[in-house]
Structure 1
Amino acid sequence: MKFIQFRIGDIVQMKKKHPCGSQEWEVLQLGSDMRIKCRGCGHIVLIPRPKFLKGAKKVLNRDVTKDTPLAERSEESTEG
């Protein structure tokens, strides 16, 4: 089984289309329930995590700026 770790700000492609026609959703909240926002019409939905994990196909766009503080700290420690 393939494990995908989701983060806030990820754009996820779902298996089924939203009634507006979009398959792309932005992750707004993580937890036992996932809050996601439709990228087509802006509708916000709160769904259980198992249903979200079953319906998610892949991560289309990931906000990589959240990883930069860790990389900056490790570079600073090697310079000094």
Structure 2
Amino acid sequence: MPLDLKVGDILELKKQHPCGNHKFEIIRTGADFIIKCTKCEKQLWIARANLERRVKKIITKE
């Protein structure tokens, strides 16, 4: 069953970005996701299956 991920959610991933940050914001959802590093603002395209495997914790924005 897929995770309930929404635009604006902050994710903590298992592996860090090269800038040293673990937190990413979801910009676009669907079969592919666009996530943005919260430290250096770099945007990444990642497949849903790969993203769901890498998620450590979901921090929802309220």
Query: What TM-score do the two structures reach when normalised by structure 1?
Result: 0.72
**Higher RCO by CA contacts (8 Å cutoff, separation 6 or greater):** 2
4+ aligned runs moved over 2 Å, structure 1: none
- Give the Cα separation in 2 of the matches to 1:41 and 1:63: 19
> Runs of 5+ in structure 1 lacking a partner?
65-80
- Give the Cα separation in 1 of the matches to 2:26 and 2:13: 12
Q: Aligned partner of 1:8: which letter?
A: V
Query: How far does the alpha carbon of each residue in 1:14-60 deviate from its partner, in whole angstroms, 9 at most, with x for none?
Result: 00000000000000000000100001100000011000000011112
Matched, 1:29 2:17: no
Q: Which has the higher strand share?
A: 2
Q: Which has the higher helix share?
A: 1
User: May I ask how many residue pairs the two structures share in their alignment?
Assistant: 62
Query: What TM-score do the two structures reach when normalised by structure 2?
Result: 0.91
**Percent identical residues:** 34
Aligned CA-pair RMSD = 1.4
